[in-house]
Amino acid sequence: MSDPAAEQGRSPVGVHPAAGRRANSTTRRNGTAGANATARANGTARANGTARANGTARANGTARGNGTAAHANGAGHRGHTASPWPAIPAEVAGQLQPMLPKVVEEMVAEIHASVAEYARPGDGSYEHAVRRGAEEAASQFIARIADPGASSGQADEVFRRLGAAEASEGRSLEALQAALRAGARVALRWLTHASQWMDAPLETLSLLAEALFVFLDEIAALSADGYAQAQAQVAGELQRRRRRLVGLLLAEPPAAVEAIDEMTRLAQWRQPRQLSVVVLTGRQPPGSPVPALPAEVLADLDRTPPVLIAPDPYGPGRRDMLDRGLRGFQCAVGPPVGLREAPKSLHWAREALTLAEQGVFGDYSIIHCDDHLTDMVLRRGGDLLDRLGARRLAPLKDMAPGRQDMLAETLLAWLETGKSSGVASRLFIHPQTARYRLHKLQDLFGEQLDNPDARFELALVLRARHTGPQSRRP
């Protein structure tokens, strides 16, 4: 029986007569797999297409894109980096177009069946989003065949928005990538089926399969780009809200409770029972290292001075966490206070840094105010403390500075230990020397040493004198 296709001057698969007279079996004997076998064997298009068996030119005698004839030896070989789109006959787009509605329906069904995250019966908006993505992908694929150089900016934005939607819902990209693969499987099945009746050269299915996987990579990259941009935007907005929350917590006069509660919710921050404000020395220039602390620690490093707000600073293991994260920074950790008292913690942390700059704490890196409360209270007395010292230490004022220091040191040791042996041990002197100095102090201060109020005031001024950067002599 005669072959109708052969009588019309072409092979059953639409190959040019000059090339179509060979039998498929000849092609396979020469080592070239049929188009369907190639696609099904490895699931991807071969990088250089399917080699022609007898080396004849393609149906139109030219390669699309550059208009040159096929290679003389008939390999029809394309380089590994060449795009598959120009090599696909443009008329294939018109032949595939009628398939589009059914392909989209099957894509949507396949995605719902294979990707659990997208199976949402009754969710109309989600159904619309999945269908829109499938329609856009199929339409754009056909449009690229018809005109490989056409702009795809609008379609690209669709896939970026798909990635952004995944980020906004708090999911990873795995579900979207699985949906793209599911759609590609459906498309490959339809392309394989269409190759059996399309009026196109033999290697067209291989080129279409290659183009499909190139296209899959492109839209996956666009989705990932949209996902990353959305994540960065969300992270940036969250950081802005947290800096705003820092400002509200430290505001004086205090911000409204409702404003703090609302910003706490927007900043996704759990209100702690207590918090400490950490003040760093100096403004941090752009690109400077930042403290390596958990996300729950609020930060505003653009503030002057830079500040952190550490929730529950002295809970189990929390102090060690702060010390490790702040290593390498000079800073002060304010005393723990309630949420509404954050400005007090800020005030004391700044006060501690001021005293540190005056040398009160010697060499320092991290100052915990709770470790230095007595020194801070004494030093904060300022002029009043100097006045009290001048009055209580008046008996020493006419002595030489060295003798003043010796007797002041002895008096403080006695006030803190209560006995001469304690003084000798504290000051590393002979007990007899300690007793001699105490007798001298008794002669100088007289009844003050028997008066509890006077002794308390003496202890205050002597302690302040002892911890100052320089001795405060009366």
Residue that the structure tokens 């379609």 belong to = 155
Q: Are 47 and 68 in contact (CB under 8 A)?
A: no
Beta strands per DSSP E along 334-416: 366-368
Q: Are 179 and 246 in contact (CB under 8 A)?
A: no
Residue 467: which of 399, 398, 412 has the closest Cα? 412
Nearest 5 degrees, angle CA 103-CA 131-CA 185? 40
Nearest 5 degrees, angle CA 253-CA 254-CA 259? 135
Q: What is the pLDDT along the chain (474 residues), one digit of tens a residue?
A: 333 333 333 333 333 333 333 333 333 333 333 333 333 333 333 333 333 333 333 333 333 433 333 333 333 444 445 788 988 888 898 989 999 999 999 999 998 888 887 776 666 666 787 888 889 899 999 999 999 887 777 778 888 888 888 877 767 788 888 889 999 999 999 998 888 888 777 788 889 999 999 999 999 999 999 888 887 777 788 889 999 999 999 999 999 999 999 999 999 999 999 999 999 997 666 667 889 999 999 999 989 899 999 999 999 999 999 999 999 899 999 999 999 999 999 999 999 999 888 888 888 889 999 998 888 887 777 677 788 888 999 999 999 999 999 999 999 999 999 989 999 999 999 999 999 999 999 999 999 999 999 999 999 889 888 765 544 455
* Whole-number pLDDT of residue 256: 93
* Whole-number pLDDT of residue 285: 60
Stated pTM of the model: 0.50
Q: Are 16 and 58 in contact (CB under 8 A)?
A: yes
Pairing of strands 331-333, 366-368: parallel
Q: What is the 3-state secondary structure (H, E, C) of 201-259?
A: CCCHHHHHHHHHHHHHHHHHHHHHHHHHHHHHHHHHHHHHHHHHHHHHHCCCCCCCHHH
Both tokens of residue 198? 């399309």
d(CA 253, CA 203): 77
Beta bridge partners of 278: 308, 333
Q: How many CA atoms lie within 13 A of 116 on its CB side?
A: 1
With a CB cutoff of 8 Å and minimum separation 6, the contacts of 447 are 454
